[in-house]
Amino acid sequence: MRTVSIEKDPKRIGGMFDRIAPTYDLLNHLLSAGMDLWWRRQAIGALRLRPGMRVLDVASGTGDLAFAALGRQPGVRVVGVDLATAMLVRAVAKRRRRGIEAGRYQVLCGDAMKLPFPAEAFDAAMIAYGIRNVPDLDAAFLEFKRVLKPGGRLCILEFSMPGSALFRALYLFYFQHVLPTLGSWVSRDHEAYDYLPASVGAFQTPRELARRLQDHGFQMLALRPLFGGVTFHLTARKPGDLR
């Protein structure tokens, strides 16, 4: 695998995802054998959404997590935020193709470390495969807590390393050799698909991430590994009673 920087300047990350936006969905589904859609549905289930809830989707990308939420609970509204405008353009196109009203899924360009919303604006917040790309986790967690209503839930879905030594060895071979080669060939972007395994390998463990959330006052609800620990979702709650 080529050496790649895991520096997380927002302009760099946004530009990288803008470049791979045309092939992003294809490669997500291909490289995960379609499991990524199931993983998102599992994460949405942990949020326990109810009709009328307003949900924030950070690093919304092309909208797959948002559409999983809208499909599970038709009575919710989702606002998607992402650094990459090219990804959001595709999310809007998908919304139109699916016949979803504009008022149910809105998007805007924004940064997880400085969310463009007033305090206590959302009943729930979520982020899928984007938290490891945030350069300042503490700033992001403070923002999540600020925009959530008391009692609001936060769900983080992210990659991790399998616990089994044999499975980890197989996974690392795929993740460090097959995925970058195939991803680079399809997307024509070597940096993005070299960055992916490098950023996962350098990121915090799920338990470390959970402890960091607790340091910011979140109450941990669940931490669930999926597919042998290849990915996980954790759910936390802002103290208080959801109105």
pTM value is 0.93
Q: Report pLDDT digits (tens) over 171-227.
A: 878 877 787 888 788 888 888 888 888 888 888 999 999 999 999 999 999 999 998
Q: Report pLDDT digits (tens) over 56-87.
A: 999 999 999 999 999 998 899 999 999 999 99
pLDDT at 161: 85
Complete DSSP assignment for 189-233: -HHHHHHHHHHHHHSPPHHHHHHHHHHTTPEEEEEEEEGGGTEEE
Q: In CATH, what number does 10-237 get? A: 3.40.50.150
Comparison of pLDDT for 28 and 134, the residue scoring more = 134
Q: Report pLDDT digits (tens) over 121-168.
A: 999 999 999 999 999 999 999 999 999 999 999 999 999 988 777 877
Helix residue spans in 85-164 (DSSP H)? 85-97, 137-147
Amino acid at 118: P
Strand, helix or coil for residue 148? strand
Cα three-residue angle 42-45-50, rounded to 5 degrees:
160
Cα three-residue angle 212-216-220, rounded to 5 degrees:
65
